[in-house]
Structure 1
């Protein structure tokens, strides 16, 4: 068996930040357990509570960039050239990483939907068959666009659909297009992020948030960053500067998004994607040593796929328990955030140990015994808003 690629602590921490923003956002929505009306919200600055509460969507785009970067980096490490992609190994790796846990979660969601549990049962224009079929065919965002918002526990599947549709076509383009044309196509897609979003009227909320092409544009930024990192290795000072600039860009979008949006002609998502790409290039060029104080955040990054698919079970359960105990009062909502996040991590860890890790080990053992080391399936396993712990946001 070949040695497993060592994890990058900085990238795991970046994924940890992204998944933490997603979990907190889903807790903090105004119709759940908002932070702002709580006692803590009365003394925390409004900008801080908003930054903590309302950046789940932006966090998913951070995951998209990470996904494109890591998968491209691994493909280049294996073959040295994107035109040498082993399609069978690539698709098999994606299926191995995505489908087992997805299947377990869909079975659980379906059972709760059949029981009519709020947050799991289909909406008026939806059916359980429609939810399942669209989830398994990676057309979930399309289904939501036609039928309205999906039940809360199912709704997270939209980003997985965008990633997997991209990765169905991406290796085919790598094989079919000369490198200059491939780079040009990726650059055009990346630069089209804001124009593509503007094609959908904000009044159509579902499609404005969940259309395929804007998400694919963010993945393209990650792919381009990986291609750049392959050719350019910044020195230590340059990498530090890149990390600072990238971090400042992310902080500006997360903390002052409306100002960035207004003064950069709606270009805040460019700042988000470029900032994430800069952090990734710096992290790969000069990987930092793990730091004990941030190990918890890196662990969240390692579990980001499991966390992403399962956290709504904890979120919805927490909301129900809080309301049963406190009624309509929102004064103490801030108290539930730490234990809810811890429970999400515990559940994700259980899923990793019982579902994700055993199957990955089995496939890794099979692939390395049946193929040369360069075809190790673990090198191709997924990475984004979705598939965090295989490389993994």
Structure 2
């Protein structure tokens, strides 16, 4: 059967799902390629000889759809982990939920602010915050305040891309504001069908909000209500994955069909022309792939190609890559201004390789030496909140990702 009843959690706590990491890897590479091509357009490079200039632009222009994939994956994993940890959303412990979000999100966020502020104070112009009529220090403080209060998307709506390297925080702002409501919705509605209905309404609001803000890029791309639908669809997908599995012949046919549809939408037109229902369609396609991947058993690592392993490795580092890749790109733009790099030939392709490798090395170093060790330490301490003797009352037998 293509779908069958199953009460098992959609993810296994503590274990990575390689198919989900693969999706993450594709998403973050789309974002990185998009940002690189804004700085160093490749429409006349050697790559254009193979893909044509229109082909290069088609791949490069829609990196924001990579963020849509991230939103859906995030909602799926947050909900899956909550179900695995507490058994039902009605039993969620808000204090533990928020503590774990802080442990994962805040250390890297603070490190990014330290690096960007340090480079700005060292006199590297691209990392400074530029707001007309506002002193550099006051502008920096405003950008930092927006980052720490998860309102960078609102900051961008008011001031534009005033800080190059902190612009990526718009999506973190969307995610974390959504997750501020996550336990509150679960504890208020309690019954999973009602919670799913609420998320369904949020998903329905998205395209109509984007439709009403077509004359405002910050409104149809970066606003909370323009982006919440992707996260909500991911949350609903996790709920469905606890009961339904996509396997058998229909499941095997459905996945390549969905992938083909998503690729066609991505390449067809720019997100500015397709965002109203395109974001919803991309999110729904991602949700189908996640449900199909939820109960997938990972095969031996040695049987997988180097390309797949490389994409999965990239996916595991996606958070660090997303936050810090503009540090590398900003430094490249400072050392090698785009006007000095020939637009034809292989020079920009070589620079693209340097950008990917440099971003990967920086993200890997941060993950190994800072974010993951600190995340483990914080979670080990925060797990004490979940012991039966604590007010949170999580059973020690319950898995904690």
After TM superposition, the score normalised by the length of structure 2 is: 0.86
Asked if residue 148 in structure 1 is aligned to residue 160 in structure 2, the reply is: yes
In structure 2, the partner of 1:314 is 328
Asked if residue 373 in structure 1 is aligned to residue 385 in structure 2, the reply is: no
Comparing 279-288 and 300-309, the one that deviates more: 279-288
Q: 1:210/1:374 Cα in 2 relative to 1: closer, same or farther (>3 Å)?
A: farther
Comparing 274-283 and 173-182, the one that deviates more: 173-182
Match of 2:262 among 250, 258, 274: 250
Distance 1:287 1:266 in 2: 36
Cα displacement string for residues 312-364 of structure 1 (whole angstroms, at most 9, x for unaligned residues): 0111222333338x715212312211221011110000000121111122133
Match of 2:22 among 5, 8, 13: 13
- The question of whether the paired residues in 2 share the 8 Å contact of 1:37 and 1:330 is answered with yes
Asked if residue 201 in structure 1 is aligned to residue 214 in structure 2, the reply is: yes
Q: 1:237/1:364 Cα in 2 relative to 1: closer, same or farther (>3 Å)?
A: farther
In structure 1, the partner of 2:392 is none
Distance 1:183 1:91 in 2: 21
Matches within 5 A, 1:59-138: 59-125=66-132, 127-138=139-150
Cα displacement string for residues 128-159 of structure 1 (whole angstroms, at most 9, x for unaligned residues): 11111110010111112122223211100000
After TM superposition, the score normalised by the length of structure 1 is: 0.88
In structure 1, the partner of 2:317 is 303
In structure 2, the partner of 1:282 is 292
Match of 2:199 among 158, 183, 186: 186
Q: CA deviation at 1:183?
A: 1.7
Q: CA deviation at 1:4?
A: 5.9
Q: CA deviation at 1:242?
A: 3.2
Q: CA deviation at 1:206?
A: 2.6
Asked if residue 323 in structure 1 is aligned to residue 330 in structure 2, the reply is: no
Distance 1:281 1:350 in 2: 32
Q: CA deviation at 1:120?
A: 1.2
- The question of whether the paired residues in 2 share the 8 Å contact of 1:79 and 1:374 is answered with no
Distance 2:335 2:111 in 1: 25
Q: CA deviation at 1:243?
A: 1.9
In structure 1, the partner of 2:37 is 28
Q: CA deviation at 1:91?
A: 0.3
Cα displacement string for residues 39-60 of structure 1 (whole angstroms, at most 9, x for unaligned residues): 3224423443123311211100
Q: 1:129/1:45 Cα in 2 relative to 1: closer, same or farther (>3 Å)?
A: same
In structure 2, the partner of 1:385 is none
Distance 1:4 1:187 in 2: 26
RMSD over aligned Cα atoms: 2.3
Q: CA deviation at 1:230?
A: 1.0
Distance 2:201 2:13 in 1: 34
Comparing 186-195 and 294-303, the one that deviates more: 186-195
SS of corresponding position for 2:227: helix
Distance 1:212 1:151 in 2: 20
Gapped runs of 5+ residues in structure 2?
Answer: 1-11, 388-394
Distance 2:180 2:341 in 1: 46
SS of corresponding position for 1:14: helix
Q: CA deviation at 1:261?
A: 5.9
Q: CA deviation at 1:83?
A: 0.6
Q: 1:260/1:200 Cα in 2 relative to 1: closer, same or farther (>3 Å)?
A: closer
Q: CA deviation at 1:271?
A: 1.8
- The question of whether the paired residues in 1 share the 8 Å contact of 2:255 and 2:288 is answered with yes
Distance 2:272 2:217 in 1: 21
In structure 2, the partner of 1:241 is 253
Q: CA deviation at 1:223?
A: 0.6
Q: CA deviation at 1:241?
A: 2.6
